[in-house]
Structures are given as C-alpha cells and as structure tokens.
Amino acid sequence: MQISSHISLKPFNTFGIDASARLFAVVRSISDVQELLQHRDYKNNSHFILGGGSNILLTKNVDALVIKNELKGIEISAETEEHALVKCAAGEVWHDFVLYCIDRGFAGIENLSLIPGNTGASPMQNIGAYGVEIKDTFHELEAIDLETGQLVTFSNADCEFGYRESVFKRNYKDRFIILSVTFRLSKKPVFHTEYGAIKQELDNMGITELSIKAISQAVINIRSSKLPDPRKIGNSGSFFKNPEVTAETYQRLINEFPGLVAYPLDNGNYKLAAGWLIEQSGLKGYRSGDAGVHALQALVLVNYGHASGQEIYDLSSKVLEAVDQKFGVMLEREVNII
C-alpha cells in the first residue's frame, strides 16, 4: 500500500480546483482497504473518501488522508425471467454502468444516463433525473466500516434515502467506504418519458417505438445540449437542490410570479425549479472572474479556468442571497463543500 504526500487533487475533481491532499492513497480491492486500515498513516490521521470527484467543491487543501476509491468490476449476481440483480464495483464510472445494463436489456436506470461520477457515490447522493432516482432500483450495497474494519451490507431501507440524501451524507458521513452497489433491474421496462423534454427529444429523433436505449439517447442528447462537459469547463453538474415548499408558499409565489415552474408532490407540497428561480433573479450567465453561473443552465456553477473553490463558494452564496431576496425561498447546495 503506497501512501503519497502533498498530491494535487486537480485531476480528481470535476471543478478542476487545484487543491492538494496532505496524504493520498488509492484502493483497488478489498484487500487494499483492509491493508490501509492497518497503516500507521491511516490510524494517525483523519480521512476523506474520494470517488469520481463530481459532486464536491474543494475550498481549501485537504489536511487529511484522501482515499481514492478505484474498485472495478461488474457482474450479474442473480437473474429471473423478469429481473436481474447487477452488482457494480464502486469505482466504476456511473455512465459506463448504465450503458452496460442497457446493452443487456436491463431497465430502470436509463433515465440516469450521462450523470457524472462513479457508481459508489450514486446511493450516497440518491442521484436522480427525469423522474427516476437510485432508490427506485437499489437492492443493496457492501461497505467496510472504517471504524471497525467490518464488512457491512446495507438494504434499501438501511440507506434512508431522501431527495439527494442518504444516511451516508448524515449519520455515517466518512464512516464507510462503499465497495459495490447492487441494483434490481427489470427485463420488462416501464418507460418514464413524462419529465423534462424527453418526449420532445424522442420525436426529434424520429423514434416511433420506445426502448430503453432510445430513452437513454434522448437523455444524453438533452444533457449534452444543456450541461457543460466537465472535461472542457469545470463544473459539478447541478449545484443546487430544487426546493420543496408548502402549498401556501406555492400559492403566494404563483400569484406574484405567474410563470413559476413548479411540480406538485404526493405530500401536497410543491417542488420548485431552482434553475428558473436563479434565472429570474438575474444571475443566469453571471460571471465573477473565472467563477460563473452557466449561460445555458443556471443550476450549474462553472470554473472558467482558474477560479478557486472559495470563489465558487462565494458565488453560490450570492445566488442563495439573490433567490431568497426575490422569492423568499432559500436554496440548498447539492454539492458537498470541503
């Protein structure tokens, strides 16, 4: 087990922030993790687990042991006429895993195509898009408890999934390193095309017979047209959560702002489109130095080249203040701030 010191994390976060790790180790197997737990540098330092680096904003150097999760491998662990359990190692790129499942006719995650990051982070964040969330197909995950060294299995209920939330972002933050995630996928797909512009894009593509591959391609087309490629311009995708408000607050807002974009929820509340709120606050395309609000999707903050993490964080604070001042709604950051 090699542990390096003072390693730049710029290649390992999609914002392209040039922060450094005081100590840095890569784990590629369960035995690597077990060996690391016995290492003096692990025992004598705090630690931070890094996956694909697509949902973090580094505002400072990391004065800890950064553990880069690069476990690989995908396997079909069980199969019936109707379903397949597909197990994916945490270090696999999420979009590659989605394509693996689509190629085999396993449905349920096609709407989550092109979401950046690694598979291990998907349950932590309960990633979601176009009417689908991880919790809908999640079966279980395996993880090592970094306090005890024990292998632990988490069921769907154990993860306490919420909107872009799980127990791993709250009670168990930085306590477990996820090894693999298993999904229960269907061989008889139920198509979700009612969200966003999927139907319109399918029409543009000339699709007359629905398939999970067609829906995946539609999602890829939509995301590619609206969201910046982190390989070309630093970003972490959606920076803010869509806020949930009461029916009373919704009624107040819709009376004052008839163009309000909102979606009714089963609990009687409404989910507001954070991107619309930011745009109406006059910040879509706003730029301060190399930190900016993307010109095509106001939910996305970008690094145009040499912005520091603190500068992007300060911009996010400006967004929060502007939306609150105009609408009386406080947005919440979706990205993990380090």
- Catalytic residue list: 164, 238, 334
The alpha-carbon radius of gyration of the chain (Å, integer) is 20
Residue with tokens 């009373």, as numbered in its chain: 248
Give the length of the chain: 338
What does the CA dihedral 25, 313, 309, 239 come to, rounded to 10 degrees? Answer: 60
Q: 321: Cβ–Cβ under 8 A, 6 or more apart, which residues? A: none
| Listed residue (150, 140, 141) closest to 175, CA to CA | 150
CA–CA separation, 214 and 208 (whole Å) = 10
H-helix segments, 5-141: 30-37, 40-43, 94-103, 121-125
Q: 200: Cβ–Cβ under 8 A, 6 or more apart, which residues? A: none
Q: 234: Cβ–Cβ under 8 A, 6 or more apart, which residues? A: 14, 15, 16, 17, 302, 303, 304, 305, 307
